[in-house]
Amino acid sequence: MTVTSSGPDEGTAALGQYLSAIRARRVLVALVTVATLAVAIPLLAARTPTYKSTAQLLVNPLPQDDRTFLGTSLLRDSGDPTRTVQTAAALVTSPVAARDAARRLGGGLTADDVQQRVDVQPLGESNILSITASASSPGAAARLADQYLSSALAVRAAQLDRQLDAAIAAIGPRPVPADAARLAELRTVRERGDPTLTRAQSAQPPSAATGAPAALVLVLAAIAGFTLGSIAALLLERFDRRVRDVGELLGLAPIPVMLRVPATASKGRHAASDEFAWSVREAFRTLQIELDQRRAAAGGGSHTVMVTSASSGDGKTSTALNLAFALVAAGHRVILVDCDLRRPDIARQLGLEPSNWLVALLTESVALDDLLQAARPNLQVLAAAKGSRGNSLMRGLDRRIGEILAQASELADYVVVDSAPLGEVGDPLTVAGHVDDLLVVVRPQHTNREALRRTVQLLQRAHLSPAGWVVIGDDGARSSSSYHAEANGSGRRLARIRSLSR
C-alpha cells in the first residue's frame, strides 16, 4: 500500500486553511478584535451626536408665456421640471439669507456656520425643495431649518418688492385700460408675496441622531477587528514553515496516528530515564501492544521497526529509545541500532561508548554480536560514533543493511532502528526497504512543513507505506482520568524507591 494524499477541492481546501489558521492563532485574533473595540469605545463616547431636520419649499413657476411679470425675477417654467427646481435651489441658496438667519438665531452662529450646516436640494423628481439643517440637538436643527427658510423667503420678498415697486411705478397712477389688469396683479403679488416659492412644510425636531447607532458601531468595530486579526493570522500562517497540528498532518498523508505522546516528552534530557513521565510510558506501552499484535499477525517471528522523522529535533531518537524500553518492559529481547550515522545520539543518551560499527562490519572479520553493548537486561545497542559519514560508507550501508538487520533479527525479538530524518537526507530509504514497520515522528509547531512534504513524496516514490505517525508534544494525549492520576502517583513512588536503592 502506498502513501496517497487525496484532498478536497481548492475552494474547500482554502476555507479549511483559513479556519485552521484562525484556530491556531485564535489568541492573536481575539487580541486584535479587543484592541479594535478598545479604540472604538472612547471614540464613540467622544462622538458628538448630529441631528438633521428638514423644511420644504413648494416651487410653482410662472408659465413660459407670462407677460404680466416681465421685469421681475419671479421663477418661470423652463420647460424642464428638473432644471426649473434646480434654478429655484440656486435662488434660495443665498449668503444674505445665511447671514440673516445667523443674526436672528444668535448663539454665536456666523453666516459661514449656517452655510455649512444647511443643504438645499431638490426632493427627488418632485417640484419640492428640501432645506435640511444639521445641529447638535433636535430642536436646534429644526429651528435652523425653519429660520433659514424664513430668511431666504424674506430676502427673496425684499428683492421682489423692489422690482414690483419699479414695475408699478412705470405704469403710473392712471394706467391705460390695457395695463389696468396687469397693475392689479402686480399689486396683489406685492401684498401676498412670491407665488412661485411658498413654504410647504415646517421643520420638525428629529427623534434620533443621524449616523450609525452605538451598538451597530461596536458590532462593525468587532467585525473589523476580527477581519484584521484573521488577515494577520493568515499572513503568519503563510510565512510559518512549521506543521501546525494533527489535522494538517493527516491532510498531507492520511495514514493512522499510532502514538500521541504528551508534551512532556519534548524534555529530551529525560528521554532515556526510568523516571520519565508516566503518561509517556503508558503511551509507549500502548504502541508496544499494537506492535505485538502486528508481529503476531505476521507469524510471530522477529520484528524490525524503523523510526524516522521529517526534520531534525522532532524527537525520533527519544521515540526509538522509549519504544525499546517499552518492549523490554514487556519481556522482549530488543536490539537498538543507531543508523543515524550523520548525527548519532543513542550512545550519549544511554551513557555508552560509541563505536564505528559499520566500519568494523565492512572492513573487519567481526560478528555483529561482538559489537553489541548491553544497556540493560534484554536491551542491546549498536551505538554509532560521530563522524561516521562519507559516500563510501553510505554505499557500504546500502549493500549490507539487509544482512545486518537479518543478523540482528536472529538475536532479538525486536530490532528498533533509529535513522536520520528522511525529510533532510535520503539515507533512511536504504533501511526502510528492509524493515517490517516504519514509524514517522512529527512534532507539531516544530516539524518543518516542507521537510514533511518531502518525506511523504519520497515514501510515495519508493512505494513505502508507514505503519503510522508518532505525534510528539500532543497535549491532547494527556489523560485527566483518575487512572492517570493514580498511575502518576505510583510512578513517582517507584522512582523514589529506585533512587533510594541506588
Comparing 65-69, 139-143, 490-494, the range with the smallest average pLDDT is: 490-494
Extract the C-alpha cell encoding 183. 397693475
DSSP character string of 105-169: H-TT--HHHHHHHEEEEE-TTSSEEEEEEEESSHHHHHHHHHHHHHHHHHHHHHHHHHHHHHHHH
Average pLDDT of the residues in 96-114 = 92
Q: Which residues, at least 6 apart from 240, have a Cβ–Cβ distance to it below 8 Å?
A: none
User: What count of Cα atoms within 13 Å lies in the side-chain half-sphere of residue 249?
Assistant: 27
pLDDT at site 216: 86
Q: Which residue bears the cell 425643495?
A: 129
Extract the C-alpha cell encoding 174. 392712471
pLDDT, tens digit, 9 for 90 and up, residues 150-167: 999 999 889 999 988 888
What single DSSP character describes residue 52?
Answer: E
pLDDT at site 335: 96
Comparing 57-71, 387-401, 480-494, the range with the smallest average pLDDT is: 480-494
pTM over 0.75: no
Let me know: does 350 contact 461? Beta carbons within 8 Å.
no
Q: Which residue bears the cell 536520520?
A: 420
DSSP character string of 237-268: HHH--B---HHHHHHH----EEEEE-GGGG-G
CATH class of 246-501: alpha beta
- Partnered with residue 382 across adjacent β-strands are 337
Most confident of 316-330, 385-399, 484-498: 316-330
Q: What does each C-alpha distance from 260 to 100, 129, 473 come to in angstroms?
A: 83, 75, 8
Provide the mean pLDDT of the chain.
83
Q: Which residue bears the cell 513524496?
A: 457
**CA-CA distance, 224 to 449, in Å (whole number)?**
31
**CA-CA distance, 189 to 182, in Å (whole number)?**
11
**CA-CA distance, 366 to 15, in Å (whole number)?**
59
What single DSSP character describes residue 49?
Answer: P
**CA-CA distance, 346 to 354, in Å (whole number)?**
8
pLDDT, tens digit, 9 for 90 and up, residues 408-465: 999 999 999 999 999 998 889 989 999 999 999 999 888 888 888 899 999 999 999 8
Give the DSSP H/E element, type plus range, for residue 374.
strand 373-376
What single DSSP character describes residue 436?
Answer: S
pLDDT, tens digit, 9 for 90 and up, residues 202-212: 999 998 888 77
**CA-CA distance, 249 to 243, in Å (whole number)?**
7
**CA-CA distance, 191 to 122, in Å (whole number)?**
28
Q: Which residues, at least 6 apart from 114, have a Cβ–Cβ distance to it below 8 Å?
A: 98, 99, 101, 102, 105, 144, 148
**Measured distance between the N- and C-terminal CA atoms of the chain, rounded to whole angstroms:** 49
pLDDT at site 389: 53
Within 10 angstroms of residue 81's Cβ, the number of other Cβ atoms is 15
Average pLDDT of the residues in 135-140 = 92
Question: Has residue 391 got a pLDDT over 90?
Answer: no
